[in-house]
Amino acid sequence: MKFSANLGFLWADRPLADAIRAAAAAGFDAVECHWPYDQGANEVRAALEETGLAMLGLNTRRGRPGENGLAALPGREAEARTAIDEALDYAARIDAANIHVMAGFANGAEAHETFAANLRYAARRAAEAGRTILIEPLNRHDAPGYFLRDTEQAAALIDGLGVPNLRLMFDCYHVQRTEGDVTTRLATLLPLVGHIQFAAAPDRGPPDHGELNYPFVFAEIRRLGWRRPLGAEYKPAGPTEASLGWLAEARGI
């Protein structure tokens, strides 16, 4: 198996460029991040070129303090599209493959139409550069009120829009916390999936404990034919290096 270090949580105490170097030294195959905008793209690109790691993705900005994305918020379309443009432009400078467009706290038909329109805009712009737009359901415990609540809602939105470069970010942690039946859902949804992430449930720690048996989950993902890096998006309890005991064994699956 191949693995990507999500630098929103792993080595989060370091500047992004230094975190990329740490991920390479630890043996990761790729990296991804949340909001890289405070670090110069030239520095990030230099670290990627130095290490040979690819940047798999980044997020659009959350918005104002307390918000968790803008794209499903009626009346905020201009801000949402500015955030999409910013993410795509930064992605172009560091050659990031995917942009996660964050929906925000919203509900109802108007929010659905707003999100759909903003996703069409994002996908159209991303297609010009050969990039993919991702959407991700967040669990109700960590993000109560988030617009995308589960994989069924996300899949219906993707199917309804019919845009080839709009895909599902399947986070095993979020799916387990909200829906369960992770490997069955993944097998069903795999044609829509653009990226897979993981963490222990329910504490979002490293994948060596908790409700999910990750050696089994990883083996199932491999059996399904997935060969791209899986995103390690978990919260270490201490130094990231001390949390990596799972990595060597998992790479051999």
Assigned token pair, 218: 């990883």
Q: Is 32 a catalytic residue?
A: no
Q: Is 86 a catalytic residue?
A: no
3-state SS of 81-136?
HHHHHHHHHHHHHHCCCEEECCECECCCHHHHHHHHHHHHHHHHHHHHCCCEEEEC
Distance separating alpha carbons of residues 162 and 65, to the nearest angstrom: 33
B/e letters for 26-38, b = 16+ CB within 10 Å, e = fewer, are eebbbbbbbbbbe
Single out the catalytic residue among 49, 50, 110, 233.
Answer: 233
Examine residue 202 and say whether the peptide bond preceding it is cis (omega within 30 degrees of 0).
yes
Cβ-contact 36, 60 below 8 angstroms? no
Single out the catalytic residue among 79, 128, 136, 249.
Answer: 136
Q: Element (H or E) spanning 167, and its range?
A: strand 166-171
What lies within 8 Å, CB to CB, of 103 at 6+ separation is 68, 69, 71, 72, 115, 135, 146, 147, 148
Q: Which of 135, 79, 74 is nearest to 105 (CA)?
A: 74
Catalytic residues: 136, 233
